[in-house]
């Protein structure tokens, strides 16, 4: 028989004490709540106060005439000026209004000055960029610009500085400056050029591929190493032996290197008048770079008596780099040429600043860099520059090894890309645009062009070196003249196409030459899947609408899966031994339509499988640190699979048990990973639960600031192999890479374009345009940007900039 518990009466004194404590707790909670509310209100007031003035008038020192700035419903500034002096001043001012923190961070990253405002955690990164010398190259480049172009840079800088002074005086600097506890210094022309040099670094690479292959030769046999080369090196035996005989300690370089995303690229295409529904050419472009808040791109419309141009630019740079005027449109993708060579330098054991060349010791040029560090003393950092370029292999080491690696790179020379940018907007036809391209040296880009006179054209433009020997696959001896550059591909012989019979031109970082082309351009081209898919769609219709081009930019058909999935499934089936969950995942893939849609499970399993295949095939020989430098990994992986599935010998796969064992093992690892991430019910697996985009802000890396600065994570379709490109972090699934800017232009009406900028125009947390285009970007929608005043003026955001005094 259960006992009935007896409830004892609570003494009155205890009740009073309990109630008193409850009142204290509730009171404390209320005070805390009020304090949090007050702090939140104060923070809101601070952030709110930094929003740019978009209506009314502001007086600006240096203007010659009033300038009108109309912001349309998407936050795009339409700047109307009486002359170019005022136009570029206003562009600098307005861009700084929306993007000043991004601009400041960009110039600091390019210049190796992050530690000054962040601290010791970015010191090695700053050393890395001080060694590369992007700012030194920007300083050298300024002297090469014309007086007119220098004026544009100076006017733009003056406008930026007018805003900086105004924001400092009014206490309205963007909230990020307050969080990090610093104020921006004045802007200068070299800052704009340094940002341009950083973009060249982001797009101009292949040095890391040389480092990877150099390290690989120290770890595996020559035969195994060559299997991971995109092609056999010219003069291979000699160069390979030199690389093996002269090891360089690269551990510190690899650890701190800021490696550009291997999928940096783009899509672009132009359609002829005959193939266009409007009877005029059409152009589409979506450059693929990192995704972030704010966007790497800033959309702007510039208008002066001799200039009418609209498109995008990097915040901090004057002009429009990709866009259109009233007669022409142009777009870019990365050529990816071999414009960087690493030279193995032999150091004088008696003088660490001398290096051997043709039997003699030559003195390196020394730059004494001083890196300011927040909360710590400044760091003195010497950079040695040989005849081939800066030593980049030892910036984190105290010792002086007998050998070192120096970098030769076209973008470290004085170049004038921003001169070309100023001229693009004023060109009226292909001849004038082509003339502007003579000023564009680095990074080499695939330009597509269309004009209202019916011309469509393509050109791979930029300086691409010609070498005595070698083809940029491996570091080469620097103590001899056998591997020097002898010049550049003649400008008139760069790959060019005008009005081809098939009625369109497209590029997607694919190989742009055939074997008959007499010059070496690159060993590393993108996988062919995006370009092939673009051509499939463009060939599928005799006449194309503008909606067809928009749909194609968002296309999610996965041709990588089309090629490899049948063979991989067959290999798994032959091996057998499938677990129940394996069979369910197998059936999921078998029924998948090869569309990388976010609601499907097939793309998830396939993406994880490809990732696990790389782990199984390349490890343990290729370490995690080496994998970071393995820029041709996707191309090499595909070729290994292609050969092995065709029954050919392939040592990297054969030593792991053969294709059937590798396919099954990697498949089961992928299935286990999918189950760990999304549970064991395969019917509920979805690509978009893993593959999500949040457009991370630089301060979003600090919790809980991500809740404020980042966009809400949204499921995203596409993949690295689809035209609708969406690269991701393999560990987190975060989509970090893609076409933040998409544009489509019909030259039947070149005064308007259809665009999207993910995640939005503004860099201000409380702006209505901060994350307003996330939905457009993730669902394939567009807004219209017009040069017509009757269109862009109707939204009511009118700011007039007046000359002070």
Name the residues annotated as catalytic. Answer: 266
State the residue for tokens 């673009």. Answer: 534
d(CA 125, CA 131): 10
Sheet holding 376-386, edge to edge: 365-373, 376-386, 389-390
Question: Which pair of structure tokens corresponds to residue 386?
Answer: 């040989």
- Candidates 763, 730, 143; CA nearest to 419 is 143
Contact 323, 309 (CB under 8 A): yes
What letter does residue 491 receive in the DSSP assignment?
G
Non-local CB neighbours of 376 within 8 Å, separated by 6+ positions: 119, 120
Radius of gyration, CA atoms only, the chain: 29
Question: Which pair of structure tokens corresponds to residue 178?
Answer: 């307050």
Non-local CB neighbours of 40 within 8 Å, separated by 6+ positions: none
- CA-to-CA dists, residue 580 to 254, 369, 655, 660, angstroms: 42, 62, 28, 19
What is the DSSP annotation of 117-186? HH-GGGHHHHHHHHHHTHHHHHHHHHTTS-HHHHHHHHHHHHHHHHHHHHHHHHT---HHHHHHT--PPP
Q: How far is CA 24 from the centre of its chain?
A: 54
Residue 496 has phi, psi (to 5 degrees) of -145, 140
Non-local CB neighbours of 674 within 8 Å, separated by 6+ positions: 585, 604, 605, 608, 682, 685
Contact 339, 409 (CB under 8 A): yes
d(CA 667, CA 569): 9
> Residues 187, 191, 192, CA angle at the centre, nearest 5°?
105
What is the DSSP annotation of 688-754? HHHSEE----GGGGSTTTHHHHSPPPEE---BTTSSSBEEE-TTT-BEEEE-SEEEEEETTSTTEEE
The H or E element spanning position 68 is: strand 67-71
Q: Is 601 exposed, middle or buried (0-12, 13-18, 19+ CB in 10 A)?
A: buried
> Residues 525, 531, 536, CA angle at the centre, nearest 5°?
155
Task: State yes or no: 398 annotated in a binding site.
Answer: no
**Which residues, in sequence order, are bridge partners of residue 324?**
310, 329
**Which residues, in sequence order, are bridge partners of residue 340?**
409
Strands, E assignment, 430-557: 445-451, 456-461, 465-467, 476-477, 485-488, 496-498, 504-507
Task: State yes or no: 514 annotated in a binding site.
Answer: no
The 10 Å Cβ neighbour count of residue 64 is 12
d(CA 682, CA 588): 8
- CA-to-CA dists, residue 12 to 15, 16, 685, angstroms: 5, 6, 59
d(CA 448, CA 44): 45
d(CA 207, CA 253): 12
- CA-to-CA dists, residue 492 to 262, 459, 646, angstroms: 30, 10, 42
- Tell me the residue length of the chain: 805
The three-state secondary structure class of 479 is coil
Q: Indicate the annotated binding residues for Ca(2+).
A: 338, 341
Q: Indicate the annotated binding residues.
A: 338, 341
């Amino acid at each position: 028989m259960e006992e009935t518990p007896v409830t004892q009466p609570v003494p009155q004194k205890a009740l009073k004490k309990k109630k008193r404590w409850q009142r204290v707790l509730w009171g404390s909670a209320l005070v805390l709540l009020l304090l949090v509310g007050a702090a939140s209100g104060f923070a809101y007031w601070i952030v709110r106060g930094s929003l740019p003035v978009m209506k009314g008038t502001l007086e600006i020192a240096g203007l010659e005439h009033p300038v009108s700035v109309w912001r349309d419903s998407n936050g795009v500034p339409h700047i109307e000026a009486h002359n170019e002096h005022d136009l570029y001043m206003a562009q600098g001012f307005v861009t700084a209004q929306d993007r000043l923190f991004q601009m400041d961070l960009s110039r600091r990253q390019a210049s190796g000055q992050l530690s000054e405002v962040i601290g010791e955690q970015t010191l090695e990164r700053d050393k890395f960029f001080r060694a590369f010398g992007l700012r030194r190259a920007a300083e050298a480049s300024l002297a090469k610009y014309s007086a007119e172009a220098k004026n544009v840079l100076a006017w733009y800088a003056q406008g930026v500085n007018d805003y900086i002074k105004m924001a400092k005086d009014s206490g309205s600097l963007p909230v990020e400056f307050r969080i990090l506890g610093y104020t921006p210094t004045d802007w200068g022309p070299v800052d704009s050029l340094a940002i341009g040099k950083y973009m060249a670094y982001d797009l101009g690479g292949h040095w890391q591929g040389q480092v990877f292959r150099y390290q690989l030769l120290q770890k595996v046999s020559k035969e195994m190493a060559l299997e991971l080369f995109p092609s056999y090196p010219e003069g291979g035996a000699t160069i390979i032996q030199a690389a093996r005989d002269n090891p360089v300690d690269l551990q510190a370089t690899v650890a701190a290197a800021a490696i550009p995303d291997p999928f940096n690229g783009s899509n672009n295409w132009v359609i002829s008048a005959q193939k266009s529904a409007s009877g005029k050419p059409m152009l589409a472009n979506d450059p693929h770079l990192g995704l972030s808040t704010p966007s790497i791109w800033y959309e702007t419309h510039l208008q002066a008596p001799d200039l009418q141009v609209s498109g995008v630019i990097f915040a901090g740079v004057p002009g429009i780099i990709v866009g259109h005027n009233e007669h022409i449109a142009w777009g870019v993708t990365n050529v990816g040429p071999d414009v960087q060579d690493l030279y193995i330098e032999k150091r004088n054991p008696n003088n660490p600043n001398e290096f051997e060349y043709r039997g003699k010791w030559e003195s390196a040029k020394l730059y004494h860099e001083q890196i300011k560090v927040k909360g710590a003393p400044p760091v003195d950092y010497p950079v040695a520059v040989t005849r081939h370029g800066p030593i980049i292999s030892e910036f984190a080491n105290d010792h002086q090894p007998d050998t070192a690696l120096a970098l030769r790179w076209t973008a470290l020379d004085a170049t004038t890309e921003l001169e070309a940018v100023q001229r693009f907007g004023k060109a009226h036809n292909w001849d004038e645009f082509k003339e502007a391209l003579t000023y564009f040296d680095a990074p080499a880009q695939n330009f597509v062009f269309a004009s209202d006179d019916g011309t469509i054209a393509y050109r791979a433009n930029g300086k691409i070196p010609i070498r005595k020997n070698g083809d940029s696959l491996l570091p080469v001896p620097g103590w001899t003249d056998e591997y020097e550059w002898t010049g550049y591909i003649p400008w008139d012989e760069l790959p060019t196409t005008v009005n081809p019979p098939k009625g369109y031109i497209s590029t997607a970082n694919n190989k742009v030459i055939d074997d008959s082309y007499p010059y070496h351009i690159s060993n590393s081209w993108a996988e062919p899947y995006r370009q092939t898919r673009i051509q499939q769609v463009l060939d599928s219709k005799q006449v194309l609408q503008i909606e067809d081009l928009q749909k194609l930019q968002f296309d999610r058909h996965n041709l990588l899966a089309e090629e490899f999935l049948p063979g991989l499934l067959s290999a798994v089936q032959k091996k057998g031994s499938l677990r129940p969950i394996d069979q369910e995942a197998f059936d999921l893939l078998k029924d998948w339509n090869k569309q990388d849609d976010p609601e499907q499970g097939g793309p998830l399993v396939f993406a994880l499988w490809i990732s696990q295949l790389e782990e199984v095939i390349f490890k343990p020989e290729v370490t995690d640190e080496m994998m970071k430098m393995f820029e041709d990994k996707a191309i090499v992986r595909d070729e290994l699979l292609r050969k092995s599935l065709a029954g050919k010998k392939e040592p990297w796969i054969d030593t792991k048990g053969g294709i059937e064992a590798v396919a099954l093992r990697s498949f089961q690892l992928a299935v286990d990973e999918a189950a760990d991430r999304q549970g064991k019910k395969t019917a509920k697996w979805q690509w978009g639960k893993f593959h999500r985009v949040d457009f991370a802000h630089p301060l979003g890396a600090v919790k809980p600031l991500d809740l404020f600065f980042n966009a809400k994570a949204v499921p995203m379709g596409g993949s690295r192999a689809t035209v609708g490109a969406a690269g991701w972090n393999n560990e987190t699934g975060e989509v970090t890479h893609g076409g933040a800017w998409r544009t489509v232009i019909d030259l039947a009406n070149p005064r308007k374009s259809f665009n999207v900028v993910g995640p939005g125009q503004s860099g201000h947390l409380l702006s209505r345009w901060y994350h307003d285009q996330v939905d457009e970007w993730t669902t394939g929608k567009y807004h219209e940007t017009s040069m017509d005043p009757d269109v862009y003026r109707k939204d009511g955001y009118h700011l007039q900039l007046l000359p002070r005094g």
